[in-house]
Structure 1
Amino acid sequence: MVELRKRKAPATAAPPVEKKPKAAKPRAELDEKEEVKSSKVPEVGDVIDIEVFGGEVQTNEGETTSLKKLLEESKTGVVFFTYPKASTPGCTKQACLFRDHHTHLTSSGLAIYGLSGDSPKANTTFKTRQNLPYPLLCDPQANLIAAIGLKKSPKGTVRGVFAVDKKGKVLLRESGGPDATVDAVQKIVANAPKVDQEQEAEPDTKQGDKPDDKQDDLQADESK
């Protein structure tokens, strides 16, 4: 009797291993990297996007404003000098130096502003006591202060100065003591053309005909 042997079934091949696609980076991570890139502190010569730069701040009178609005209101640009805390000795010296040199510092059309993390109430008291001729800006969240690279870590404000022209070109950005911040602005003012007050005063040009009118009236009276 012949014994039949069962043939072994052929081994089944293992299914091919599917390669998993690389996981896409979370959108939050991408947004964070983009934010870091866009929040790069500008250097002298850089042109910033004034539409969104620094967000909104308040004046010492409680009015909301922004860099864009301040530039639109200025003649040639703005200067922010930053100070850690209103009514403290170093900050008082700095604010008073900008007060005493205000006429010269604004001779090229730059508008001067103090900038700190103080409240409108604290800055109003500071401005009134020291008779400051310029507004003080309040940035308790330090959005603008951080944007110009003068935020102290983890919190606080570095004493310094930042200047930008109406087109968004950074003219000055540096930290320093009370005297150094004023000197830095004086240097850029010295190299800038002075604003001609007479040319800007339109009423003066329009009034140029009035003396001739009066002279004609006098001549008419003499001929009578």
Structure 2
Amino acid sequence: MDAPRRSSRLAAKIANVLDSKGTIIPEAAPVMLKKPAKDESVDSTIQVGDVIPDITLPDEDGTSIRLRDITANKGLVIFAYPKASTPGCTKQGCGFRDNYPKIQASDYEVLGLSFDTSKAQKAFKDKQNFPYHLLSDPKGELIKKLGAEKPGGGKLFRSHWIFEKGTGKCIVKEIDISPLVSVDKAFAVITDSEP
């Protein structure tokens, strides 16, 4: 004799919790535990007050840069741009380049960030004479944690973050910002001046 079908077994279980009128007998009904629904509204990206992720990425030369090593000794500005050597990204990068001496005088370091390869970052840095490093994040490891990845993946919002010296805490998070406004706002925070 074959084992009863699943539907027959289910019907038998249901029959065991119903009285003769078809009403559920509370003490006979099993407690059904539902897995809690995933809260899609929870943002797992870094927020103001959070500590910089402990991530190491290659720069334009393939040299590994660990973010927490920088924030242990200096404040840090990370600016993200959609694609190396494009007009808006060049404006943003050159804005940070032109203000770099004053940024360094305020005890901050600057890093650029995109999905681009180290090779593309190197060409961009060399062409524009950037005095700071450009991080290559083709898998989006840091980009995702910072909250700059666009829906669908592989593209990012132009953004910047500022991290505090010593603690590595995020003190500014600006997502989806224009190139020059990004530079002006970051510079104003770092130098404690009006944008």
TM range (shorter): 0.7 to 0.9
Q: 2:106 aligned with 1:115, yes or no?
A: no
- RMSD over equivalenced CA pairs, Å: 2.6
Note the 1:37-116 alignment, pairs <5 A.
Answer: 37=42, 39-43=44-48, 46=49, 48-50=50-52, 53=53, 55-72=55-72, 74-75=73-74, 77-116=75-114
Q: Which amino acid aligns with 1:21?
A: V
Partner of 1:91, secondary structure, is: helix
The percentage of counterpart residues that share the same residue type is 33
Asked if 1:181 is matched to 2:182, the reply is yes
CA deviations over 1:79-107 (Å, ceiling 9, x no partner): 00111000111111211121111001121
In structure 2, what is the Cα distance between the partners aligned to 1:38 and 1:58?
A: 26
Q: Distance in 2 between matches of 1:185 and 1:135?
A: 17
Query: Is 2:160 the counterpart of 1:161?
Result: yes
Gaps of 5+ in 1: 1-12, 193-224
Match of 1:149 among 128, 147, 156: 147
- Which residue identity does 2:109 align to in structure 1? A
2:45·2:144 contact (CA, 8 Å) conserved in 1?
Answer: no
Deviation of 1:114 (Å): 0.5
Structure 2 unaligned blocks of 5 or more = 1-18
Alpha-carbon separation, structure 1, partners of 2:125 and 2:81: 13
User: How many Å apart are 1:41 and its aligned residue?
Assistant: 4.1
SS in 2 for 1:87: coil
Q: Does 1:127 align with 2:125?
A: yes
Structure with bigger helix share is: 1
Question: Normalization by structure 1: what TM-score?
Answer: 0.65
For normalisation by structure 2, the TM-score amounts to 0.74
Change (3 A) 1:91 1:40: closer
**Cα shift at 1:19:** 2.8
Q: Is the radius of gyration larger for structure 1 or structure 2?
A: 1
Which deviations, in whole Å up to 9, do the C-alpha atoms of 1:122-172 show, x marking residues without a partner?
001111111110000111122212222222222301112111113133221
Do structure 1's residue 23 and structure 2's residue 33 form an aligned pair? yes
The residue type paired with residue 139 of structure 1 is D
* Number of equivalences: 167
**Alpha-carbon distance, 1:36 to partner:** 7.4
Counterpart contact for 1:54–1:145, Cα < 8 Å: no
- Paired with 1:55 and 1:19, the residues of 2 have a C-alpha distance of 50
Shift, 1:187, TM fit = 0.9
Deviates more, 1:94-103 or 1:165-174: 165-174
Post-superposition CA distance 1:25-83 (Å, at most 9, x none) = 38xx7xx65x974714413xx2x144xx26442211213333323323x42x1100111
